[in-house]
Structure 1
Amino acid sequence: MKTLLLQIFTWWNGQTLGTRYHTWRHGTHVGKDEAGNLYYEGGLDSEGRTRRWVIYNGPAEPSAIPAGWHGWMHHRTDVSPAAETYAARSWEKAHQPNLTGTGRAYRPKGSILNQGARPHVTGDYDAWTPKS
C-alpha cells in the first residue's frame, strides 16, 4: 500500500503510475545496474531515435547513473552495458550524491554559511565602489 501511495503522490521516488503504465505498454527491459536502477527502451523520441528511460531504485537522482549506462541512455552507443562485458575504467570515480542544499554542501571561504574570512584581493583587481 505504501508503494502505491508513493507512486500516486510523488514523482521523485521510483516511478509514477504514468511511467508504470507507459513502461508496461511500450517498454522493453534492457538491464539493471549495480544500484538497482532499471533501464528500458521502446517507441521513438522526437528525433526518430529509440526512446530510453530509467526507473530509479529510490529517489530520482540522474547523477546516480553509472558511466556505461549514461552513454547508452544518451545514444552514445547502441549496445547496453548489460549486453556486453562492460568494466569501469581505472579513472572512473564511484558515484557521489549531489549535496547541494544539504548540510554537507560545498561552501567556499567567505561564504555566509562557512567559518573563516574571504581571501584578500591581490594583484591588479580593485573592488567596485559607488564613487569610483
Structure 2
Amino acid sequence: MKYLLMMFTWWNGQTLNTWVHTALHGVPVGEDEFGNRYYRSKKIDPALGFERRWVIYKGYAEGSMTPPGWYGWLHHTVATPPTEENYTPREWQLPHLPNLTGTPEAWRPPGSTLRANARPHATGDYEAWSPEG
C-alpha cells in the first residue's frame, strides 16, 4: 500500500521518483520537530553553481510546516543547517505554527461573516444603489 501511495499521491510524503532520486543523489542533513527530513545533493549542480537542497515532508506536503531555521537553510539564506549550530531562540520568539487557513483556528477579522459573534450594525452612511436614480 505504501508504494501505491508513493506512485499516485504527490501530496503525501514523497513520490516514487523523489524516493529514487533521494536515494541516489541525496545526503541526509537532519530532521525537524515535525518529522520532516532534509537533504542536500552529493555534488554541486553545474548549472546553478551550488548544491541543491530539499525536504521530504512527513505526511501531507505543506510548506508552512517548515520551521524558520530549516526554511533559511533550504533557501540558501544560511549555510549551516540547524542541526549543526547551537541556536537558542530568544524569549520574544514564538514557537512555529503551521498555516491555519481553512481550519477552525484561522484568524477571522472583525466584521467577518465567519466570525463567531455578530457583525457590527451599519452606521447609516451607506446608501444602496438602485438603477432608477
Range of TM-score over shorter length:
0.7 to 0.9
Deviations along 1:90-112, one digit per CA (max 9) or x if unpaired, are 33221222221223322223323
RMSD of the alignment, in Å?
A: 2.7
> How many Å separate the matches in 2 of 1:45 and 1:36?
31
> How many Å separate the matches in 1 of 2:121 and 2:38?
47
Where do 5+ consecutive residues of structure 1 fail to align?
A: none
Greater shift, 105-114 or 28-37, is seen at 105-114
Contact 1:109 1:116 in 2 (8 A): no
1:15 is displaced (CA, Å) by 0.8
Instruction: Please state whether the residue corresponding to 1:77 is helix, strand or coil.
Output: coil
> How many Å separate the matches in 1 of 2:67 and 2:100?
18
* Counterpart pick for 1:118 among 117, 120, 124: 120
Contact 1:68 1:86 in 2 (8 A): no
> How many Å separate the matches in 2 of 1:127 and 1:28?
62
In the alignment, which residue of structure 2 is the partner of 1:10?
Answer: 9
> How many Å separate the matches in 2 of 1:73 and 1:45?
18
In the alignment, which residue of structure 1 is the partner of 2:104?
Answer: 103
Normalising by structure 2, we get a TM-score of 0.77
Greater shift, 92-101 or 71-80, is seen at 92-101
Instruction: Please state whether the residue corresponding to 1:44 is helix, strand or coil.
Output: coil
1:51 is displaced (CA, Å) by 0.9
Against the structure 1 CA distance between its residues 130 and 101, is the aligned structure 2 distance closer, same or farther, given a 3 Å change threshold?
same
Contact 1:109 1:119 in 2 (8 A): no
1:32 is displaced (CA, Å) by 1.2
1:45 is displaced (CA, Å) by 8.2
1:128 is displaced (CA, Å) by 8.0
Against the structure 1 CA distance between its residues 3 and 95, is the aligned structure 2 distance closer, same or farther, given a 3 Å change threshold?
farther
In the alignment, which residue of structure 2 is the partner of 1:33?
Answer: 32
Contact 1:31 1:82 in 2 (8 A): yes
State the aligned residue count: 128
Normalising by structure 1, we get a TM-score of 0.78
Matched, 1:20 2:19: yes
> How many Å separate the matches in 2 of 1:98 and 1:45?
35
Where do 5+ consecutive residues of structure 2 fail to align?
A: none
